[in-house]
Structure 1
Amino acid sequence: MTVGILGTKLGMTQIFDEAGKAVPITVVQAGPCPITQIKTPATDGYTAIQVAFGEVREKTLSRPERGHLSKHSQTPPMRHLREYRLDDTSPYQLGQAITVDIFSPGQLVDVRGTSIGRGFAGYQKRHNFKRGPMAHGSKNHRLPGSTGAGTTPGRVFPGKRMAGRMGNATVTIRKLQVVRVDSERNLILIKGALPGKPGALVSITPAKVVGHK
């Protein structure tokens, strides 16, 4: 795996490329993310680095969280922690900041975040079911219809598409293109839509490109 960066989704807009075509983009305020822990096979059984994002007041963190971050005195109190597994952690040091400079325009990235919660949704909204006849005699306007067999097996199989909670799930959008990187303002402009509302936390990593055999 490779190192990524944490950021906050600011919102969507559009820019124009060299040909004058409008490109829909999402603006992400990413990093800088200081490295708060380096994991090795000797201490943790695997190799990874842990990064932090979102500076907050110290009293908003619990005592164990403050103690964990205080191992490196230069790291201010941070709200979010995320680790990225690596094959080799030797190029990284505690306190080193991961910035948007690890990405370049035209690069493909994977963006992971939490989708917008829609609450308890019905069959049509959640699974695109068709509605029933709307005539007065029909009593099946938005009902799901049959959900299972009768005597045998006498239950509804797990995984049946039914009403329930919609959204608020971890989603990864793969192979999005980086349009522009602003190192001075720590901004990444990514083509397309990202999961979550403006202000949501997202994790951006280089896309896994599988070569053709």
Structure 2
Amino acid sequence: MDILLIPGLWLDASAWDDVVPAIEALGHRPVPVSLPLHASATLDDQVAAVLAAVDAASGEPMVVGHSAAATLAWLAADARPDRIARVAFVGGFPATDGRAYADFFEVRDGVMPFPGWEPFEGPDSADLDERARHDFAAAAIPVPAGVVQGVVRLTDERRFDVPVLVVCPEFTPAEAQEWIAAGDVPELAKVKHLDLVDLDSGHWPMFTRPAELARLLAP
């Protein structure tokens, strides 16, 4: 199976470098997706890049979105519900129709830069040492405003037929279930085939638990 890997905010396709060989060892074909990150890039541009990867895949791929990119993976399921075997969200949940994609932090000069580690203190970053934090921050790519402020548009109810896997790193499956039951994740409340699995890590398991993450993703 082709497993398409979509990086989250401030990351490019190289974020999956340690996961790729682990997925290959399990007999699958990992495909890290390169998202447009130039200053004028829009959410539509990034969705188009994901859909191009889906269309180029062999057979019916699995589409994996990390963090905010859970929404990109879900937009792919909305656009290609008959083409995708499964969607996986790693440490994130899809936004609802009409919401901004990822307008979480201050936008300056047309981009949303990495805000530093203060907003991520605690479970999110507990397993990242000082070197890992420094390297992440140094390599972080500011995300264009046209991406983070882009409006999510979901149009095909058949997306709820696509099986969904939620990998729960800095939170537990029980917590995720509580959020879904409380109405905090309305898209997942309508999914017909939903699995939640635990992963003992922070928010970026592709760096700290790549082999374990690969085993959870590879069916």
TM range (shorter): under 0.3
The higher-RCO structure (CA 8 Å, 6+ apart) is 1
Larger proportion of strand:
1
Query: What's the TM-score, normalizing by structure 1?
Result: 0.23
Larger proportion of helix:
2
Higher alpha-carbon Rg: 1
